[in-house]
Amino acid sequence: MLDLRVLVTGGAGFIGSHLCERLLAAGCRVTILDDFNDYYDPALKRRNIEGMRDRLEVVEADIRDAVLLERCFAKGNFDVVIHLAARAGVRPSIANPKLYMTTNIEGTFNLLDACRYYGVKNFLFASSSSVYGVNTKVPFAESDPIERTISPYAATKLACEQICSNYSHLFGIRMRCLRFFTVYGPRQRPDLAIASFTAAILDGRPITRFGGGQSLRDYTYIDDIVEGIMLSMNDQGGQYQVINLGGHATTSLSHLIELIEHFTGNKARIIEAGEQAGDVPKTYADVDKAREILHWEPKVPLETGLERYVAWVKQQREQ
C-alpha cells in the first residue's frame, strides 16, 4: 500500500480517471485538478469520477491560473504530481495553436514552479509519441534525435519535456516524462479513432478513412498505461528519464477498422479522404527502456483490448 498524497491533473479524463481508481486502491490520498472544459462533453468527465467522489478531493481549476494552483499546492502538501492535463489532439491544435501553447506549455510551467516552491520532489509528465514526428527509424527509441515535430500539439509536448528537464536539473525534482502511444479502452475520448469508429459502425453511420488506411499506429490498452504510470512513481532509474509506454506493435488503419467490424458484428460504411495535415505516418514504440527501468511490459494485445472496449460500449448503451 502507498501512503502518498497525489495530485492528478486532468484526473477526470480518460486516463486520469482510471489512474485515480488505481491510486485509491493502492491507499493513496488523491486530489484531482480538472477544469472540465468543453473539448468534449464535460458530463462524461463527471461521470468518469462519479463513483470516487466521496474518496478524493476535486479541485475545478485551469492549470493556466497560477494563483489558484498556488492555493491548491499550499493546502495539498503533495508528495507526487502526475500531470495528465493538456489540450489534446493533433488536428484541433492546428486550428487553434495558441490555446495549445498557453495551456500545455504555460500550464506545465505553472505546475513545475508550484512544485519548486512547495517542495514537491516527484513529478510525472504525460508526453506523447507525437513528439517523434516523421522519424523514419523504427521502432522509436527515447535516444532517437527529434528534429522535426509536425503539429503544434507535438511541439508543446516536446517543449514541456525540456522544461521538465530544466526543473529536474536546477531544483532537484525527480522527473518522468512518459511518452504514451495511442491509448485506448473504456472511457476513451469520443473524438479518438477507436471510439468514434466503434460508435459510428454500431450506429450504421459512415466513417472517414484518411490516406487510404495506410497509416500505422502502436495502440496501448489503458490498463497497461496505468501500470506504467504506477511503476514510474518510485522506480530507481535516476533523476530525469524519458520513457516510452507503448504496445510495441503496429496496426494499419484499415486493419483496425476490420477488427472493429469483427467485434461489433457490423460492416463499416467508409468514406475515403486524403491524408490529414499533422498526422504522422507511423508510430511504433521501443519499450526496452521501460522494461529495464520499470520492469514493465505491455500485456494486452490489440485484439483483446478491442474486444473488451466494444463489449464495454455495448454495455453502456444498454444502461
Number of domains in the chain: 1
Residue 200 lies in a domain: no
Residue 165 lies in a domain: yes
Residue 198 lies in a domain: no
Residue 309 lies in a domain: no
* 153 flagged as catalytic: yes
For 249-274, what is each residue's pLDDT tens digit?
A: 999 999 999 999 999 999 999 999 98
Residue 261 lies in a domain: no
- Number of helical H runs and strand E runs in the chain: 12, 13
pLDDT in tens, the chain (319 residues): 688 999 999 999 999 999 999 999 999 999 999 999 999 999 999 999 999 999 999 999 999 999 999 999 999 999 999 999 999 989 899 999 999 999 999 999 999 999 999 999 999 999 999 999 988 899 999 999 998 899 999 999 999 999 999 999 999 999 999 999 999 999 999 999 999 999 999 999 999 999 889 999 999 999 999 999 999 999 999 999 999 999 999 999 999 999 999 999 999 999 999 888 777 889 999 999 999 999 999 999 999 999 999 999 999 998 7
| Contact present, 174 and 73 (Cβ < 8 Å) | no
- Domain hosting 140: range is 5-184+221-247+284-299
Phi-psi region of 296 (alpha: psi -120 to 50; beta: other; left: phi over 0): beta
Residue 265 lies in a domain: no
- In the set 100, 153, 219, 284, the catalytic residue is 153
Structure pTM? 0.96
Residue 197 lies in a domain: no
Report the distance separating Cα 20 and Cα 226, nearest Å: 9
| Contact present, 126 and 83 (Cβ < 8 Å) | yes
Residue 194 lies in a domain: no
**Grid coordinates of 182:** 495511442
Report the distance separating Cα 223 and Cα 299, nearest Å: 9
How far apart are the two ends of the chain, measured CA to CA in Å? 34
The strand pair at 251-252 and 216-217 is best described as antiparallel
Nearest residue to 122 via CA among 172, 186, 189: 172
Report the distance separating Cα 71 and Cα 208, nearest Å: 45
pLDDT at 269: 96
pLDDT at 1: 65
pLDDT at 167: 98
Residues 6+ apart with CB under 8 A from 284: 138, 139, 140, 216, 218, 246, 248, 249, 250
pLDDT at 277: 79
pLDDT at 267: 97
The strand pair at 269-273 and 206-210 is best described as parallel
The CATH number given to whatever domain includes residue 21 is 3.40.50.720
Residues 6+ apart with CB under 8 A from 47: none
